[in-house]
Amino acid sequence: MLSNQNKAIVLQFYKAFDDRKMEQALELLAPNFIARMAGMPKPLNGEEFKQFGMSFYLAFSQGEHVFDEVLVAGDKVVTCGTFTATHLGEFQGLPPTGKQISLAVMHIDRVENGKIAQHSGQGDALGLMQQLGIVFLPGPKLIPHILRGAASKLFKKSAHK
């Protein structure tokens, strides 16, 4: 029974975030909340997580989490799926692109006394950067050209020595 309550609390958190009801979402976090996020050098406390969440919230409008899997094990709830949104605000210095983004996400949230006490999050940051045009990833047809160009530069350097 408790595992169903934990699942409901976690899903309510993501729904509030998607519905742009940040105060309602933040009320579901425990006072001792801690978040471990992929790419972050150290865990975030509740205030730091709120700041990160608000920067993401303001940059990406019309956000929606769609979870393909929701697994519950004791006090932990694992959610795997996709987050889609539109980049309509500045994000980490990048002006709005107006682009629709879609990234794979996986979260593990631990619920304690009816509140989310711990969050571990993994999102496809490289895919996000690629969709926003920050990172260019060559397709399979370009790789031989890139390798030939790199080899040519190496031979030119060794010929000049």
Give this prediction's pTM: 0.79
Q: What's the rounded Cα separation, in Å, for the pair 122 and 128?
A: 12
**With contact defined as beta carbons under 8 Å apart, do 79 and 65 qualify?**
yes
Residue 108 has which token pair?
Answer: 């593990």
Q: According to the model, what pLDDT value does residue 136 have?
A: 66
Tokens of 89: 């605000």
Q: What is the DSSP letter of 43?
A: -
What's the CA gap between 121 and 39, in Å, rounded? Answer: 10
- pLDDT tens digits along 120-152: 999 988 888 888 888 766 666 666 766 776 677
Residue 114 identity: G
Lowest-confidence segment of 17-21, 100-104, 117-121 by average pLDDT = 17-21
Say yes or no to pLDDT of 115 above 90: yes
| 144 or 91, higher pLDDT | 91
